[in-house]
Amino acid sequence: MYAGRKVEEASVTDLFRTPSHSLDDFAAQRSDYVTPISAGYRGVEVFECPPNGQGLAALIILKILAKFDMSSMEEADRIHLLAEATKAAYALRDAYFCDPSFGDLDTERYLGQAFIDGLCAKIDIRKASSGSEWHDVEHRDTVYITVVDRDLNSVSLINSLFSAFGSGIYAPKSGVLLHNRGWSFRAFPGHANSIGRRKRPLHTIIPGMVMKEGRVLMPFGVMGGHYQATGHANFLSNVFDRKLDIQAAAEAARSFAFDGTLGLEPTISREIADELAGRGHVVNWADEPMGGCQAVFIDHERGVLFGASDHRKDGLALGV
């Protein structure tokens, strides 16, 4: 809950400029201790935060990829399949993911094999499908941190104001910036993620954790707003399908099927782009990096920690 001077300061009309927030709303707020959701992938268990976050979308993408031999695919096929899996998962996300206090979202159904098989049956490896549309998306103020100590206690933490400097509104005395996550609400009455008082919107930020045989194997995260669910799946496929070390997996070229186009980083070849365009993708060359990954891999057999921090953002992997 939030109460006291800082809340009174942040609640005044000249800060919020809206009658929709009150001191009572702040005082009624509670943080939830939630049970992570998980799915198996290539012999490991991947854990994500449940809705109102988009971790379920990451698991759906992984469950789809698990039905295909990603390790033997050519690059164009991998990018195409990731794009089609992303479209399927994000269509569900955009239609149904919401604050669980305001909706009944059956995560077990969406991760059930029969449901995943149905999604896979709609994928054409040679032809692109249409996808969900979003507009004016920004995601520039996210921070991801992962720490593993000498006792192998592991933390996977992510925080964000959403857009650069969030809402652009701050409390002058405390310096607290107010985020603008309400941007992710849908302005359609009756939609699962429609705007509502004391309601949480669909949330993009998702810390991840991989476990194997009951032990933490790798805390990880990928910044980048809407890209994060796809980024999780892509990074894990690079590690467990392509057998890249985690630094190489983090640095590998990225793609993102979103808002009607297939974004490609410029390190992907023109030949691959042309092949994807031939399958019906509307290819768009990304003018800025897609997300930013950090991870720690625990080698239990050798007692060694491997850290990774990719070049797309500020950050580093550091042992102390």
Percent of the chain with pLDDT over 70: 89
Q: Are 309 and 250 in contact (CB under 8 A)?
A: yes
Instruction: Report in angstroms the alpha-carbon separations of 106 from 109, 121, 273.
Output: 5, 21, 37
d(CA 9, CA 161): 19
Separation of alpha carbons 161 and 178, rounded Å: 7
Judge contact between 15 and 171, C-beta under 8 A.
yes
| Burial degree of 101 (CB within 10 A; 0-12, 13-18, 19+) | exposed
Q: Is residue 194 part of a domain?
A: yes
Q: Are 264 and 284 in contact (CB under 8 A)?
A: yes
In a domain, 287, yes or no: yes
The whole-angstrom distance between residue 126's C-alpha and the CA centroid of its chain comes to 26
Does the pLDDT of residue 1 top 50, yes or no? yes
Please tell me which residue, 145 or 3, carries the higher pLDDT value.
145
Look at residue 62 and give its three-state secondary structure. Answer: helix
Q: What pLDDT digit, counting tens, does each position of 85-102 carry?
A: 999 999 999 988 988 888
Q: How confident is the model at residue 269 (pLDDT cuts 50, 70, 90)?
A: very high
Look up the pTM and report it.
0.90
Is 275 a residue whose pLDDT tops 80? yes
Contact call for residues 155 and 219 (beta carbons, < 8 A): yes
Q: pLDDT tens for residues 9-66?
A: 555 444 555 556 677 777 777 888 999 999 999 999 999 999 999 999 999 999 999 9
In a domain, 7, yes or no: no
pLDDT exceeds cutoff 50 at 136: no
Residue 229 lies in a domain: yes
CA 137 to chain centroid: 14
Domain count, the chain: 1
Query: Bridge partners of 209?
Result: 47, 219
The per-residue pLDDT for 135 is 47
For the chain, what is the mean pLDDT?
89
In a domain, 29, yes or no: no
Phi, psi of 70, deg, nearest 5: -65, -30
Q: Which pair of structure tokens corresponds to residue 230?
A: 């796809």
Look at 12-21, 120-129, 219-228 and tell me which has the smallest mean pLDDT. Answer: 12-21
Q: What integer pLDDT is reported at residue 54 of this predicted model?
A: 94
- Residue 13: the pLDDT is 44
Q: Which two tokens stand for residue 227?
A: 């890209």
d(CA 119, CA 68): 13
200 vs 236, higher pLDDT? 236
If one compares 153 and 22, the residue with the highest pLDDT of the two is 153
Q: With bands split at pLDDT 50, 70 and 90, how would you rate the model's confidence at 149? A: very high
Average pLDDT on 288-308 reads 96
Alpha carbons 56 and 91: distance in angstroms, whole number: 12
Report whether pLDDT(244) > 50. Answer: yes
Other CB atoms within 10 Å distance of the CB of residue 204:
24
137 belongs to a structural domain? yes
- Whether 251 has a pLDDT exceeding 70, the answer reads yes
Higher pLDDT, 255 or 193: 255
* Residues 201, 205, 206, 207, CA torsion sign: negative
* Residue 108 covered by a domain: yes
CATH number for the domain harbouring residue 284: 3.60.20.40
Instruction: Give CA–CA dist 319/316, Å, rounded.
Output: 10
SS3 191: coil
Q: Cα(215)–Cα(89) distance, rounded to whole angstroms?
A: 28
Residue 129 lies in a domain: yes
- CA–CA distances in Å: residue 289 to residues 5, 9, 191, 314: 40, 37, 32, 12
Domain of residue 300 covers 36-309
pLDDT confidence tier of residue 260, bands split at 50, 70 and 90: very high
Whose tokens are 């392509």? That residue is: 242
Question: What confidence category does residue 170 fall into, taking pLDDT thresholds of 50, 70 and 90?
Answer: confident
Closest CA to 184 of 173, 172, 169, 194: 194
